[in-house]
Amino acid sequence: MAKESSILQIDENKQEQMQAEQEQIRHKVKRIKHKILILSGKGGVGKSTVAVNLAVSLALSGKNVGLLDIDIHGPSVPKILNLEGKSIQAVGNTLLPVEMLENLKVMSIGFLLRGSEDAVIWRGPMQYQMIKQFLKDVDWGDLDFLLSIHRPAREMSRFRLSSFWKMPTERL
């Protein structure tokens, strides 16, 4: 009986923590007007190239833009934007994205790797935690657009991705 009660207490604590994290994500996402997921059924089709071109175009037109690269199999955004060697700054538990332009902020798993050739071999739960941390802990500020590049959709459904946002995403 005591064992059941301690398991129940752990489950309640975990649920409270998950609800608090979801609330933090909702609070951050409310500051973003448009959320665009960029995904494909396979790799190597130009997701990052399309996302970078769209992000830069939007920024040059005066919009406040965030670019989130969580394609762990090929985080190429730092290379495309000539941001290799840049690092993420942290203030307490808050991560600050790299500023490409005054109104273009970039966050990539590539900034966390030692080199552009380093591999990331993560599966479901690790990827989920990384995506959640990027949504919860990165201080994007107020954005007109957040473009989010994801690994091939065959491995992670659009529904699961959009569940992070808890708000509708743009469909192109």
Domains of the chain: 2-165 (3.40.50.300)
Q: Is the distance from CB of 28 to CB of 93 less than 8 angstroms?
A: no
- What pTM was computed for the model? 0.80
| pLDDT tens digits for range 21-49 | 888 888 888 899 999 988 877 677 888 99
> Average per-residue pLDDT in the chain?
80
Q: Is the distance from CB of 59 to CB of 65 less than 8 angstroms?
A: yes
Q: Is the distance from CB of 84 to CB of 116 less than 8 angstroms?
A: yes
**In the prediction, which pLDDT does 172 show?**
45
| pLDDT tens digits for range 69-120 | 887 766 789 899 999 888 889 999 899 999 999 999 999 888 887 766 666 6
**Phi and psi for 49 in degrees, rounded to 5?**
-60, -45
- Residue 117: how many CB atoms within 10 A of its CB? 6
Q: Taking the alpha carbons of 24, 70, 90, 100 in that order, is the dihedral positive or negative?
A: negative
